[in-house]
Amino acid sequence: MNSRRHFIKSTGLLAAASLFTPTEVLSQNLISEKGKIKPPALKAGDTVAITSPAGAVWDDTQVETFTTILKSFGFNVIHGKTLTEKFGYFAGTDELRSNELNELFADKTVKGIFCMKGGWGCARLLDKIDYTLIEKNPKVLIGFSDITALLIAITTKTGLITFHGPVGNSGWNDFTKSVFTNVTMTTNSFHFPENPSTENAPVIINPGKATGELVGGNLTVLSSLIGSGYLPDWKNKLLFLEEVKEEPYSIDRMLTQLKLSGILNSISGFVFGKFAKCLAEEPLKSFTFHEVLLQHIQPLGIPAFYGAMIGHIENKLTVPIGIKASMDAEKGTISLDENSVV
């Protein structure tokens, strides 16, 4: 923001500042994106860590269950201190949670970092993370919901590919495990499988195909970061979003924010995941979720669909942030055009 004010002052264009388009205004707040860094593929025998950078863990049995799941992949598992800390609704203070994340990236024996749960709190860590350290120690970082803030910020500032996928208290069924394995433990490109259930099949908003780098996550978290400097340049990106328990008016408000900030006019394709339980409290006085999507996305004229297996659902995709991908809105499919790990 300071650089923008300096630019206006030094060039004598203060009176013309109001002529900037939303995209131009947004670009003044962006951190330059780094070159792409792919983390080493996870493999059996690796040591991985479980941390909770957001909400406090109130059920110890969930940690035990998740530890057993990770061990089923052949991983050795260590636990962060945040799994037992309580500070209000956080898993410890901001300093403790950010320090633990920095320490896990610095630890050469740790090959992957798994987040135990979402909640709220990751955005409070963004100015306390050592991005230079992370850039020099690439490894798999995975989570979703509130973890969106960490994933997007780290990928934007370091170039490290991060992974929007299940957290520790998610359901890790066979479908979810299979996709996780294909994305983080093999070095092949990957075509995401179609929904194994015939219910809630993908719905076309605008037909067509598009390519671009996948970036996205939870709508509430992403929209709250606008203007923070931790979001990427959105040109030619495939934006994917998910949400849970938000009414249509709330989704409308956040999509409006994405539009006014210039994000929606920059992307090449749009993928909505499952917006679980996003129903109006008073349906007769509200638009439906579907109507809100059509109002915001159809006029863009870009390929778009909703119903992808992303978000607070049982069958969950692991989606790499920063990887080039292709989408087919008519078929409701996404394909990774390159490997996510090396």
Residues serving a catalytic function are: 145, 242, 312
Q: Which residues contact 150 (CB under 8 A, 6 or more apart)?
A: 53, 101, 115, 122, 125, 126, 129, 141, 143, 162
List the end-to-end C-alpha distance of the chain, in Å, as a whole number: 36
Answer whether 119's CB lies under 8 Å from 144's CB: no
Please give the DSSP secondary-structure letter assigned to residue 277: T
- Provide the residue type at 319 as one letter: V
Answer whether 302's CB lies under 8 Å from 210's CB: yes
- Rounded distance, CA 85 to CA 102, Å? 17
Q: In sequence order, what DSSP letters do the residues of 147-212 get, joined into one string? A: GHHHHHHHHHHH-B-EEE---TTS---HHHHHHHHHHHS--S--BPPPPSSSTT--EEEE--EEEE
Q: What angle do CA 18, 20, 26 make, to 5 degrees?
A: 120
Read off the tokens for 46.
Answer: 């690796």
Nearest to residue 26, comparing CAs of 262, 189, 217? 262
